[in-house]
Structure 1
Amino acid sequence: MQDKPHAQPPEKLTGLTLTEPKDSAAGLTAVLSTAKHILEEMNLSKGVALLSKLNQKGGIDCMSCAFPDPKERSAVAEYCENGAKAIAEEATDKRITADFFANYSVEELSEQSDYWLGKQGRLTQPMILRAGEKYYKPITWEEAFAFIAKQLNALSSPHEAIFYTSGRTSNEAAFLYQLFVRQFGTNNLPDCSNMCHESSGVALSDTLGIGKGSVILEDFEKAEIIMIIGQNPGTNHPRMLSALQKAKKKGVKIISINPLKETGLLNFKHPQNPIDWVGKGTELTDLYLQVKINGDVALLKALILCILENENLQTLENWSKSANQHHSERNTIDYGFIQTQTTGFEDFITDLKKYNLEYLVEQSGVSIEEIKKAADLLKKYHKIIACWAMGLTQHKNAVGNIQEIVNLLLLKGSIGKEGAGTCPVRGHSNVQGDRTMGIVEKPKPEFLDRLGKVFNFTPPQQHGYDTVAAIKAMYEGTAKVFIALGGNFLSATPDTEYTAKALQNCDLTVHISTKLNRSHLIHGKNALILPCLGRTEKDVQASGEQFVSVENSMGIVHSSQGILPPASKFLLSEASIVAGLAKATLGEKSTVNWDKMIENYDNIRDKIEQVIVGFENYNQRVRHPDGFYLPNGAREGKFHTKDKKAHFTINELPKHELQEDEFLMMTIRSHDQFNTTIYGLNDRYRGIFNERRVVLINPQDMKKFAWQAQQVVDLYSKYHGEERIAKTFVLVPYDIPQQCIATYFPEANVLVPIDLKADKSHTPVSKSVIVKIIAK
């Protein structure tokens, strides 16, 4: 009988060391950290060659975050510390061979930490774990494709297969993947968007007619106010700090809203400027509003009430019914924009009237004095950019969080003009591009129509599973095959033990990957690991060396081309693997010449141009050094909603009824981490070293329960009668609102219930989980 592998990282401590949180981000320390991580994985000359091409025109697009590149690139270093860590991880000289898998059983590997697994090196050849066996063994590509095809074709329905995608997949591979899946007969195409910015897409589509942000990078220097809400750019999008520094030097005011005071929002020392290393750096935030976890809607409503404090709300409620020419003379809100470009304003004001300012202040956790300071700034200016990330998108009311931001921007007329608009800051480098290419479980009919006409088939119309629904389907046995194009599905998803059982219920799990991760060890009855080229490597096909394309978080499509020889002669590109799966599975039933697609990626891009709006002359435009912008109605002040107007919305306050011994927990990243990839065990900016199993907690809460710093505790969550436990964490006193705590993911994902998801978007609620702390 096969031993049971461990779904969770080891529940043991590694030796916590604490220092005071840092008072500035980047600087010389970031430079030294970059060098350290590079030299741990490769020699100096290789590292310098790679970094010199990173984010350069015609070079390698960073596989870390999706923050856009400036038009004028630094010749010294157009990358950040965490981008260098990502490059080091992928381009490492370390290799995992068949001998490695022969030496470690799956259970033995699962006993290791996620950090250890990732540090073993690049995967080098296809491996299979057959039913009942304990060790992965080599398999040829032909055998692997045939094995998968047999399993897929044996299903009673195509809907019994799930095809997941990570946001690092290129446009070309993503387009082929969705084409293969739809020719197979299903829209079961969940992806990592379901777990991060799905709430942004839903909220923005409903209110502005496009599920993407409306600003470009140049808008940052043209803005008057930048609001950064529920985001930690110093760790998650470090290149954003240089954009904020430029904006600050132009006189832009920055308002930061977050439960934690993050170093990267306080002060920035540009790592390319040695004067900054020894100087004071640039103070970024003008006003820091330390909101309670999920107190954002209350705060935004309070801000709006304060902005309107000199207005007669009764008059505003009925303003379209009377002559209001005098309104245009006021400068607090943009009446002209509201009247001509929006709908729902009166209902919005009617709803706003029912709120008491004192109650909103209490619910937000921010003092009335600070709220009024922010409101005074917002009254003066109309060029406002609102940036946000998962601090807003992973709550039950996540869509409402973002729609309340839209309400504020519409009130000020801060959409569709230079220096103003919405800016959801995406994580993975092509997560937005994957969606553009059709990686979506609920495709629009017009997209399916074009796809069917171009490739002469009838695409499936039935909506597929999103990520949470996919996990449930596997758990319940209605989905039997799981294929992941990239990613670390188990560690990225909620309710770790539930998700593990779901994967283990499958007849087959397949992971297309560059590095080993925990998802490879929590497997179906049969499991395959298919190793692929990384973005740093040369992709040579029949017509010669290829490049791929990606879309950044501001809608620019541009190229990426690797420079290294492949880590192994057995590696295939993602696009080649998808084509191999399609040929083996579909055979003569497919209307696609898959070999022609792969021999020259221009052929893929020609088809993308025919199917997807905005990609006219794709092959020509993507070869421009700067790439090209996709159409964006909201950016141009054109709202592609049904009534062609931007919509004010009514958003209720979230309700968290905490008992005296309960806390609201949010999961966060450490500085040595990008999504589920663990680069190291330190969280330098927060002063936490050599430990990941920590709980950031208010010192007053610790005093209340007579807990001590570094005391070992367990965490419990209870939802719908089901109890979940995360064992062996260490308390760290920290500046965080009372009855709020923060923990790292994936270690605390086990506490996030599978059924606790955002309204409308179904995003797992990883940022507001009610838990209890039990001291050992």
Structure 2
Amino acid sequence: MSKKRPDGIKVYKPAAGGWGALKAVAQTLARQQIITQGSATLLRANQRDGFDCPGCAWPDPKHTSSFEFCENGAKAITWESTSRRAGPDFFTQHTVPELRDWTDHQLEMHGRLTHPMIYDPRSDRYQKIAWSDAFALIGKELNSLDSPDQAEFYTSGRASNEAAFLYQLFVRAYGTNNFPDCSNMCHEATSVGLPRSIGVGKGTVTLDDFDHTDAIFSFGHNPGTNHPRMMTTLHQAARRGVPIVVFNPIRERALEKFAAPQNPIEMATFSSTRIASAYHQVRAGGDLAALKGMIKLILGDSMDIEAGGGGCLDRDFIETHTRGLNDLKRDVEKTGWDDILRASGLSKEAIASAVDIYLSARNVILCYGMGLTQHRNGTANVQQAANLLLLRGNIGRRGAGLCPVRGHSNVQGNRTVGITEAPSEELLDGIERAFGFRPTRRKGHNAIEAVEAIASGRSKALICLGGNLAVAMADPRITFDAMRKLRLAVHISTKLNRSHLLTAQNSLILPCLGRTDLDVQASGPQAVTVEDSMSVVHSSKGFLKPPDPELRSEPAIVAGIAEATVGNAYEIDWAGMVEDYDRIRDKIELVFPDFRDFNRRVRRKGGFRLDVPASYRVWATRSSKANLLVTAGVGEIPGKDALILTTLRSHDQYNTTIYGLDDRYRGVFGRRDIVFINGSDLERRGLRDGDTIDLMSAAGAGPARSLCGLTAVEYDIPEGCIAGYYPEMNVLVPLDHYDLESGTPAYKGVPVTVERTASRSCAKCD
């Protein structure tokens, strides 16, 4: 007889995708009260004359089918195109303190914002304000600061290229490079680490490469939930017999077996396809050790061909295209196997089996997600992944290369068009060429630095182009308190979230159009552009009637703020560019020559790919070669009493947006207050499945950080590791617990201790 599981915890046996995914799509259409309209909207997603799905950055195939959306993409689309509204009447009915007690799920379920709102401290409510008055107030407050560097300008990855370009132009005309953005919290290790390795902070593969690869290695990501359209690519590769080797602490269902909703045989027969040919449950934070173990075996087999070594290195490639091999050899020689195995949580045989598959494949693609980047050694992880591929010449040829899998559908494009706190000379040259002024070169703030500056009182204003910054950021005690100290807080958003309720002296919410909305300016309907994970730029054009005539597009809102703040400085024609987005793209092309002939090329079917020199073995590094970089050690190994916490997104979630309370593939239904933990770790602490526990952070300085009253769920996770949901677990992630190279918070590598909940335990959280 099977033991009773905690409430809401079940064993989910079906494959990912399939009929379960279609049922979930139907349920989300009904929940948002748009069954007919929503179905028609989904058919326009990721189509040539349609809009780009805001759900993820996975690229579109050359030959799109009649429906190019996935379950979680459908949730994102219907969440935005909902019939529900949060207009002025909603804010009249609810005070800000009342709304603060709501979850993000409850707040966003009330629908689209319709009017610009300003916080009124006397009534403790948001009240309607005219656009002109909102812009005037923002301009007045920004211009009253002692220095432009006292303002922070955050960007969410869903902003279009056009909006992000105008935003960075405005901020640089204003006089600062304070650009905290969502990249800082996810793939900044890629943006920092890869340029040092291969000369570009982007992936090197195209979707076509997956048709010609001989093996796929997947590190630290869960495509079935976070970028489900990738599952079509993995499904096709698996059915061709391509080995897919997974390194991930948790056995994610979509990486085990997947039923493609577009495959009539699998749907009719309720069958599925095995995805991972090998699944290595690496310890959370153990990827660096696993990668170094693979490299150690490969180099050990290649040291001396004359003495019988395997000669498995691509020596011609290494000699012609790389530098640093001898330093890498010395490092792995002195890295002991005991440390590698203890840190990775894998056996030497498991690592060797992965090496065997790697060496037997001519062309290898290595994909990775935030399981590699959100660690204190995130940059090192990325660079060791590059090392692994470089040893066999697996970068810069067909069917091989690096594939960092991004989340937001234009997070990569935002960086491409200038959202960076550390502008290059090329960017400054481009702005001077296009607009006649040279912005400051002074480095600005990333996300961690921005929160620190606000908390200390050095920064007094914050403008957010989308996102839910305070909730997404680590250490909410510090972050939330910091936001309340601001003189000015401006949020450009489609829906209400908890960041909006951390009110400053002056707080405004400015409602904007979404991806699905028709954007009409003076010259007619407009299209925007986005860049996917593989550097392809394509257009996106909404078609739905906006939720309210009061809504403005993101470019129009940015231009309105710019006109009220910098006026006609440098004779920038803000209004003229918003009248016709082609004019914005003309300026992008002037600043960034890689966008040559932008308006013509983006109108071609499928758009165009930006230049990625490493894709054809041109290395934009100081040495003009790819660098095999050394990282000392194998990463942090926690003490005997600590467990390593990794934060997860549920299947009903996209970043901080919670669509519902189910995590279907992991067998969690109707709740999020749980922690996944290995059975041996429970037993060692005198605990059982279903017990109520408290977590205490063992990282960072300052006051104790605790999260109390969680339910322990026995789960298939490596010993020494636990997992819980983001953003609830952020309270355990100190602000100073981050990768020193990239500034990325270490959300997936937090040492914590566990105690049984006592009657007075919640005092720890006070």
- Is TM > 0.5 for Structure 1 vs Structure 2? yes
1:202 aligns with 2:160: no
* CA spacing shift, 1:152–1:16, aligned 2, 3 Å: farther
Identify if the C-alpha distance between structure 1 residues 217 and 350 changes in structure 2 by more than 3 Å, giving closer, same or farther.
same
Matches of residues 284-363 of structure 1 in structure 2 within 5 Å? 284-312=275-303, 332-363=312-343
Superposition deviation, residue 352 in structure 1 = 1.1
Q: Residue 654 of structure 1: CA displacement?
A: 4.4
Equivalence for 2:477: 497
Structure-1 separation of matches of 2:342 and 2:730: 29
Shift of 1:661: 2.9
Matched, 1:726 2:716: no
CA apart distance, 1:708: 2.3
Q: What corresponds to 1:91 in structure 2?
A: 81
Q: Contact conserved, 2:466 with 2:493, CA < 8 A, in 1?
A: yes
Alignment of 1:137-286 (within 5 A): 137-277=127-267, 278-286=269-277
Amino acid at match of 1:136: Y
Q: Deviations over 1:612-632 (max 9, x none)?
A: 131011000001121000001
Q: Which residue of 1 aligns with 2:381?
A: 401
Contact kept, 8 Å, 2:302 with 2:313, in 1: the verdict is no
Distance of 1:406 and 1:94 partners within structure 2: 46
In 1, distance between residues paired with 2:257 and 2:505?
51
Map 1:666-705 to 2 at 5 A.
666-705=646-685
Decide whether aligned partners of structure 1 residues 401 and 21 sit closer, same or farther in structure 2, where only a CA change above 3 A counts.
farther
Q: Distance in 2 between matches of 1:394 and 1:454?
A: 37
Of 601, 607, 624, which residue of structure 2 is paired with 1:627?
Answer: 607
Q: Would the aligned equivalents of 2:285 and 2:635 in 1 still touch at CA under 8 Å?
A: no
The answer to whether 1:113 aligns with 2:103 is yes
Distance in 2 between residues matched to 1:304 and 1:599, nearest whole Å: 55
| Alignment pair present for 1:747 and 2:738 | no
Kept in 1: contact 2:697–2:751 (CA 8 A): yes
Change (3 A) 1:425 1:327: farther
Against the structure 1 CA distance between its residues 655 and 614, is the aligned structure 2 distance closer, same or farther, given a 3 Å change threshold? closer
Match of 1:42 in 2: 33
Query: Tell me, what secondary structure is at the counterpart of 1:748?
Result: helix
> In the alignment, does 2:532 pair up with 1:552?
yes
The answer for the alignment partner of 2:763 in structure 1 is none
Deviations 1:506-531 (A, max 9, x none): 10111000011010011212200000
Aligned length: 750
Q: Which runs of 5+ in 1 are unaligned?
A: 1-14, 316-323
Match of 1:32 in 2: 23
- The alpha carbon displacement at 1:171 in A equals 0.4
Give the residue type in structure 1 aligned to 2:618: K
Q: How far apart, in 1, do the equivalents of 2:385 and 2:13 lie?
A: 30
8 Å contact kept, 1:53–1:59: yes
Q: What is the Cα-based RMSD across aligned positions, in Å?
A: 1.5
Task: Write the deviation string for residues 459-495 of structure 1: whole angstroms up to 9, x where unpaired.
Answer: 1111100000000000000100000000000111100
Give the counterpart letter for 2:151 in structure 1: A
How far apart, CA to CA, are the structure 2 residues paired with 1:488 and 1:355? Answer: 41
Match of 1:69 in 2: 60
* 1-structure distance, mates of 2:334, 2:12: 41
- For 1:455, the equivalent position in structure 2 comes to 435
Q: Is the 8 A contact 1:27 1:271 kept in 2?
A: yes
> What pairs with 1:411-430 in structure 2 (closer than 5 Å)?
411-430=391-410
Q: What is the alpha-carbon distance in structure 1 between the residues aligned to residue 435 and residue 309 of structure 2?
A: 56
Q: Tell which deviates more after alignment, 429-438 or 39-48.
A: 39-48
Q: Distance in 1 between matches of 2:728 and 2:676?
A: 14
In 1, Cα distance between equivalents of 2:471 and 2:45? 27
Larger mean CA deviation between 545-554 and 268-277 belongs to 268-277
Residue 554 of structure 2 is matched in structure 1 by 574
1:554–1:231 Cα change, 3 Å: same
The separation in 2 between residues aligned to 1:279 and 1:369, in whole angstroms, is 35
Deviations along 1:370-410, whole A, 9 cap, x unmatched? 22211111121231111001001011111111111111101
User: What's the CA shift string for 1:73-99, capped at 9, x where partnerless?
Assistant: 111x21100000001100000001111
Distance 1:518 1:137 in 2: 17
1:507 to 487, 496, 506: 487
Deviations 1:406-436 (A, max 9, x none): 1110111100000101100000000000000
SS at 2:62 equivalent: coil
Q: Name the residue aligned to 1:766.
A: 747
What is the CA–CA distance in structure 1 between the aligned matches of 2:13 and 2:316, rounded to whole Å? Answer: 45
User: Which residue number in structure 1 is paired with residue 417 of structure 2?
Assistant: 437
Identity of aligned residues (%): 46
Give distance in 1, aligned partners of 2:311 and 2:24.
48
Secondary structure of the 1:202 match is: helix
Instruction: Calculate the TM-score normalised by the size of structure 2.
Output: 0.96
The 1-side partners of 2:31 and 2:270 are apart by: 30
Alpha-carbon offset, residue 69 of structure 1 = 0.6
Query: What is the match of residue 504 of structure 2?
Result: 524
> Partners of 1:528 and 1:505 in 2: how far apart?
15
Give the letter for the 2:405 counterpart.
Answer: V
Q: Which moved more, 1:585-594 or 1:64-73?
A: 585-594
CA distance in 1, matches of 2:373, 2:635: 16
**How has the CA–CA distance of structure 1 residues 305 and 599 changed in structure 2, closer, same or farther, with 3 Å as cutoff?**
same
- 1:656 Cα deviation after fit: 3.4
1:53 counterpart SS class: coil
Q: Which amino acid is 1:770 matched to?
A: P
| Offset at residue 759 of structure 1 (A) | 2.1
Residue in structure 2 matched with residue 375 of structure 1 by the alignment: 355
Supply the AA of the counterpart residue of 1:570: E
Alpha-carbon contact 2:513-2:546 (below 8 Å) kept: yes
Q: Which structure 2 residue ranges, 5 or more long, are not aligned?
A: 1-5, 758-766
CA distance in 2, matches of 1:107, 1:382: 60
Question: TM-score scaled to structure 1, two decimals?
Answer: 0.95
Partner amino acid for 2:126? Y
Question: 1:305, 1:357 within 8 Å by CA — same for their partners in 2?
Answer: no
Q: Cα–Cα, structure 1 residues 417 and 107, in superposed 2: closer, same or farther, change >3 Å?
A: same
Matched, 1:593 2:573: yes
CA–CA distance in 1 between the matches of 2:701 and 2:541?
49
User: What does the per-residue CA deviation read over 1:280-303, in whole Å, with 9 as the maximum and x for residues that have no partner?
Assistant: 311111111110011111111211
Question: In structure 2, do the counterparts of structure 1 residues 448 and 665 end up closer, same or farther at CA, with 3 Å as the change threshold?
Answer: same
1:468 paired residue number: 448
Deviates more, 1:761-770 or 1:356-365: 356-365
Report if aligned partners of 2:302, 2:310 keep a CA contact under 8 Å in 1.
Answer: no
Identify the range of structure 1 (396-405 vs 658-667) with the bigger mean alpha-carbon deviation. 658-667
Residue equivalent to 1:533: 513
Change (3 A) 1:670 1:327: farther
For the 8 Å contact 1:332–1:380, the answer to whether it is kept is no
1:57 is matched with which residue?
A: 48
* Shift of residue 309, structure 1, vs aligned partner: 3.9
Tell me, in whole angstroms, the C-alpha distance in 2 between the residues paired with 1:164 and 1:303.
Answer: 39
| Cα distance, 1:754–1:482 mapped onto 2, change above 3 Å | same
